[in-house]
Structure 1
Amino acid sequence: MVIKLVGNRRLGGSKGERKKAFEKNGGVLLEKLVAYCDGRPIPIRGFSYEELRRATNNYDQGCVLQVSQWYTWYKGSLDGRIVSIKKYAEDSTFSDFSFTDIAMSAKTSSHKNVLRLVGCCLETQLPTLVFEFAGNGFLSERVYQCNIHGYPREHPPMAWQIRLKIAREIAHAISYIHTAFSRPIIHRDIKPGNIFLDQHNVPKLADFSLSIPIPEGETHIEDKVHGSYGFLCPNYLATGRATEKTDVYSFGMLLLVLSTGQRSYVPQATTHEDSLVNYIRKCTISEIVDPAILAEEGGAGVEQQLQAVRELVLRCMDENPEMRPTMVDVTKELRRIERFMP
């Protein structure tokens, strides 16, 4: 296997800790790449700590795109090019996730609907990742009717055909990671907050930190449960067994969120019975769909599409994983639904 880490590794003179971090992290990354990338040569550009510090104006708060428990996304400028920089919290608890993120992102970046890894910096306690920039931000900022505090959305509502296209393209990306490699990759955290939109609203699946490959010849892998509340497959939550159908369930919830603009759970929910999917099982699509979609011109054509999407959601989120479609079939069905153009 050929590992290329290209670029200047300026350590900032007396910063011996950065040199130690670089050497330690380089070894761990090599192990991850060997384990996950099937011996294929993967060039990964290396950036110095100083380069990324300058790119973000010393990680200025004005450059922050999103903050999570594990990491912060920054907007930065490198060599005259705008990039997204993912800086993990300096907590050793997240170490394995950060290296998995690099290895899996490098492996899957060739797909047009996966956020492309540009390179990384190994001079920090945990690696800092550099990705392409997607100008329209996160899907989570655009799709919900209200923010987490209950205030109405700031952005204009997304047109239904754009939402449908986003769903189909993300389905294709998930289908790709499930089928393009000798070991299917399970993403395990499919949700609007892990999807970027570029300036043309082309979606980019991101955050492979929780991803895990299924061993060759196996149909599942057992592991500690990881994911996001509201999008977690109940079977996986109960058994710790991750399969391709684990992602199918999460995608079903994503598709439901795109259709309704609602959160994946009812505020103050305490049980699975309070989840959004249980509401749609009891209601017609017209009762729960985002009113902005119903306000569009389209008539019967849009109604047909919405009903077909509702049926696909329920299939993806079937309580029996074996009854759920594959992501290949989901992609085909969404392409068919798109043809019902109003």
Structure 2
Amino acid sequence: MSNDRKEKEKAFFENGSMLLEKLIAFCYGKSIPIRSFSDEELKQATNNYDARLAIVQDELYWKWNKGSLNGLLVSIRKFEGSVHIIEGRGLSNYIINDLVISAKISAHNNVLKLIGCCLETRPPILVHEFAANGSLANRIQGTRGSQQHQSLTWISRLKIAREIAHAISYLHTAFSTPIIHRDIDMWNIFLDQHDVAKLSNFELSISVPKGETHVQVDILSWCVGFMSPEYFATGKVTEKVDVYSFGALLLELVTGQNLNDFTQLNNGERVDFSKPKKECVGLVVCMQNGAQGRCIVDPIILAGEGRASTIEQQLQAVVDLAFTCRKRESEIRPTMVDVTKELMRIERLVL
């Protein structure tokens, strides 16, 4: 037997053992319909991971590729980093966690549906439904990734915000114990051919144990700007951690910029939509406060169709909601169910 074959069998055994353990613990023995693919099948599906078929590559060495399996277009997520990163962070364990939670919640229309996986590699490769229009980050910020798409209008951004809020509400309320995503940002949101938003990447997701109000963790999510103060300081995780991160997502949808591009501003100022982008100061994003500030609105929004007064009203309402989500005191933040309802109300402010 070749060394390559031995390595694949070893990886399959180790990954399969972890998967079975997680499935038993997390899904209470319920059957989850996912397919198992071989490494060779996925190589053929992607023309050996042809760079021309790349959908997007994220910040942590994951590459999403377009593939075709028996005529079905799929998104294939494969690790492209070095071995020491895998060993140092236990990525196989994270991916198994992603796999199990994705399988459990894939029925939701705003979750990127899991089709199957390959357990012959370290870490496993995941196969999802095809995300024809790539990641939300590429559509809004246009930074990394190989695909170019038409920019998103304000109406589309507002719809996407509501759809993702609904998906997070589902995580928090649809099961016997809440599931906390812990890594909500634009890179973990994909869009199908109709620009329907799909939440993905559940590597860091965790359930609050029965009878408990929170869970304590040692490993934090990757982006400091999206982490709530109590999570960053103590590792305490509740549903309000996701609410805080969602507030950051709303600010990025309004400005079209990465959270880390914002500059600090004195407290107490209102949002100003009238000034050109070059004259606006940055948006307040400090974890220490939830004050409102002047906002650099994405010029694409301002150039869009519709009555300016109504767009301004919606923008102001969304920014107000974002800062409410980013309150320092977690108990003051709304639930994601309430956030979803508020976004629906804002959408009804018809143009």
User: If the length of structure 1 is used for normalisation, what is the TM-score?
Assistant: 0.87
Structure 2: distance between partners of 1:299 and 1:218: 47
Structure 2: distance between partners of 1:292 and 1:281: 25
Cα pair 2:292 2:320 within 8 Å, conserved: no
SS of the residue corresponding to residue 250 of structure 2 reads: helix
**CA offset at residue 103 of structure 1?**
0.5
**CA offset at residue 84 of structure 1?**
0.7
Match of 1:6 in 2: none
Match of 1:41 in 2: 31
Which residue of the other structure, out of 88, 102, 127, is the alignment partner of 1:130?
Answer: 127
Which residue of the other structure, out of 194, 200, 219, is the alignment partner of 2:213?
Answer: 219
Matched, 1:182 2:176: yes
Matched, 1:259 2:254: yes
Q: How many residues align?
A: 321
**CA offset at residue 276 of structure 1?**
4.7
Matched, 1:240 2:240: no
Cα pair 2:263 2:283 within 8 Å, conserved: no
Match of 1:290 in 2: 298
Which residue of the other structure, out of 322, 326, 337, is the alignment partner of 2:331?
Answer: 322
Structure 2: distance between partners of 1:295 and 1:65: 28
Matched, 1:62 2:74: no
Match of 2:112 in 1: 115
The letter of the residue matching 2:177 is R
SS of the residue corresponding to residue 119 of structure 1 reads: strand
Which residue of the other structure, out of 182, 198, 201, is the alignment partner of 1:204?
Answer: 198
Structure 1: distance between partners of 2:4 and 2:259: 49
SS of the residue corresponding to residue 261 of structure 2 reads: coil
**CA offset at residue 180 of structure 1?**
0.5
Cα pair 1:210 1:227 within 8 Å, conserved: no
Match of 1:7 in 2: none
Change (3 A) 1:72 1:147: closer
Structure 1: distance between partners of 2:196 and 2:94: 26
Matched, 1:195 2:189: yes
Structure 2: distance between partners of 1:328 and 1:236: 21
Change (3 A) 1:199 1:57: same
Change (3 A) 1:163 1:14: closer
**CA offset at residue 23 of structure 1?**
2.0
Which residue of the other structure, out of 131, 143, 146, is the alignment partner of 1:147?
Answer: 143
The letter of the residue matching 1:118 is I
Which residue of the other structure, out of 7, 12, 36, is the alignment partner of 1:17?
Answer: 7
The letter of the residue matching 2:135 is F
Match of 1:98 in 2: 95
**CA offset at residue 82 of structure 1?**
1.2
Cα pair 1:134 1:198 within 8 Å, conserved: yes
Could you list the structure 1 runs, at least 4 aligned residues long, displaced by more than 4 angstroms after superposition. Answer: 11-14, 153-156
SS of the residue corresponding to residue 225 of structure 2 reads: coil
Identity %: 53
Match of 2:274 in 1: none
User: If the length of structure 2 is used for normalisation, what is the TM-score?
Assistant: 0.85
Spell out, residue by residue over 1:295-332, the C-alpha distance to the aligned partner (whole angstroms, 9 max, x if none). Answer: 23322221211111111111100011100000000000
Q: Structure 1 stretch 189-198 or stretch 87-96: which is displaced more?
A: 87-96
What do you get for the CA RMSD once the two structures are aligned?
2.4
The letter of the residue matching 1:315 is T
Q: Structure 1 stretch 65-74 or stretch 324-333: which is displaced more?
A: 65-74
Spell out, residue by residue over 1:160-213, the C-alpha distance to the aligned partner (whole angstroms, 9 max, x if none). Answer: 111000000000000000111111111111000110001111000000011111
The letter of the residue matching 1:28 is M
Match of 1:87 in 2: 78
Change (3 A) 1:70 1:31: farther
Structure 2: distance between partners of 1:83 and 1:200: 16
Structure 2: distance between partners of 1:329 and 1:298: 27
**CA offset at residue 268 of structure 1?**
9.4
**CA offset at residue 16 of structure 1?**
2.8
Cα pair 2:158 2:343 within 8 Å, conserved: yes
The letter of the residue matching 1:50 is E
SS of the residue corresponding to residue 132 of structure 2 reads: coil
Structure 2: distance between partners of 1:37 and 1:75: 29
Q: Structure 2: 5+ residue runs without aligned partners? A: 265-281
The letter of the residue matching 1:102 is L
Match of 2:224 in 1: 229
**CA offset at residue 293 of structure 1?**
1.6
Change (3 A) 1:136 1:325: same
